[in-house]
Amino acid sequence: MNSTSTQFVPSRRMGIYEPIHQMAMWGDFKGDNCLDTSPPLILDVDAKIDNQSEDTSHGTLGPSNRYDQEASKMADKVSRRLAQNREAARKSRLRKKAYVQQLENSKLRLIQLEQELERARQQGFYVGGGLDTSQLGYSGTINPGIATFEMEYSHWVEEQNRQTDNLRNALHSDIGDPELRKHVDGAMRHYFKLFTMKATAARADVFYLMSGMWKTSAERFFFWIGGLRPSELLKILLPQLEPLSSNQRFEVCTLRQSCQQAEDALSQGMEKLHQIVAETLASGQLVEGNCLAQVRTAMEKLEALVRFVDQADHLRQETLQQISRILTTRQAARGLLALGEYLKRLRTLSTLWSSRSAESSQ
């Protein structure tokens, strides 16, 4: 070897520096079967490595493009699947809505048939095994407002029975007045809801509401302008409120007198309306046969009937609010419990009376 000094040249193959004396040693032993490590070979190898690196980088870019394409296809597939799911859900909601509407219509129709059967049974009108709805004062067509009211009123009675039981349990428990007040306020709101329902029903068919056909027969026995007289309820429920202080008793009696005066005024107004409508229908010659003008005028007069129903219910609502103000929380709870039980007994009386009448006719 000509030199033993060590010099380093860079090699891009390994990323390190190799001693140049090793290259000289490899040159001494170079033969036919030996590796030719002359500089041109090293440069060629380095060039190949560079080419391989470029090829490798290009090879990596190819799969990346394929991956992006596959990801895009997958995103499109997911989007289509989500769109299909949304469309299927929308159609399912429409089918469900149509099914629920069909059930509601069937229920309303069933309520109508039950009403017709009940009226026919009570009044005894049967024609050839079928119902003569003209005799019952019912046209046979469904009044949506009345059908909805009867369905809501049925739910209202169920809820009232539940609240009555809750009041009884609350009074027999050891809960304090704040918790008991929640039961009282809930029962009061429930009665106010009934007045709102009746106001809507009166505008749909005031004659139906006034007839009391939505009530049981025993309740109709005490009917007054679409409901019970507040003064009579105070008289019936007053013993259930004892013990009362002298001041409470005085205020309850004063409230009852005020109710009686308002009831008398409304009753006189109803009598006057009866007279006006009767005279309107009888005006002119009754034998003429043409009554359209008189009937139209009478219908205009009957618009006042809705206001009488509203005023009567307003009096009932004011009575409940005033008696709740006069009484303590526990007394108000006992009063609402007594009112709920009284109405429940009226309904039970109607059921037993109907059963008795049916048995006696057999």
Whole-prediction pTM: 0.61
Q: What is the DSSP letter of 130?
A: B
Per-residue model confidence as pLDDT tens digits over 201-250 = 999 999 999 999 899 999 999 999 999 999 999 999 999 998 999 999 99
- Strand, coil or helix: what is 17? strand
How large is the average pLDDT for residues 278-301?
80
The dihedral over CA atoms of 350, 352, 358, 360, expressed in degrees to the nearest 10, equals -120
**Separation CA 230–CA 312 (nearest Å):** 9
**Would the pLDDT of 313 be above 50?**
yes
Residue 137, phi-psi category: left (phi > 0), alpha (psi -120 to 50), beta (remainder): left
pLDDT of residue 283: 82
pLDDT of residue 113: 67
Q: With DSSP H G I counted as helix, E B as strand and the rest as coil, what are the percentages for the chain, rounded to 5? A: 75, 5, 20
**Would the pLDDT of 66 be above 80?**
no
**Separation CA 26–CA 34 (nearest Å):** 8
Per-residue model confidence as pLDDT tens digits over 7-41 = 444 444 444 444 444 444 444 444 444 444 444 44
Q: How confident is the model at residue 69 (pLDDT cuts 50, 70, 90)?
A: confident
**Would the pLDDT of 52 be above 70?**
no
Per-residue model confidence as pLDDT tens digits over 143-192 = 888 999 999 999 999 999 999 999 999 999 989 999 999 999 999 999 99
**Separation CA 152–CA 245 (nearest Å):** 39
Going from N- to C-terminal start, the domains of the chain cover: 76-128, 144-352
Per the CB < 8 A criterion, the answer to whether 216 and 346 are in contact is yes
Q: Which residues contact 316 (CB under 8 A, 6 or more apart)?
A: 191, 195, 227, 228, 230
Note the Cα 230 to chain centre separation in Å. 32
Percentage with pLDDT > 90 across the chain: 48
**Separation CA 347–CA 342 (nearest Å):** 9
pLDDT: which is higher, 258 or 4:
258
How large is the average pLDDT for residues 311-331?
96
pLDDT of residue 355: 82
pLDDT of residue 135: 33
Per-residue model confidence as pLDDT tens digits over 116-144 = 666 555 544 333 333 333 333 343 446 88
pLDDT of residue 340: 95
**Would the pLDDT of 88 be above 90?**
no
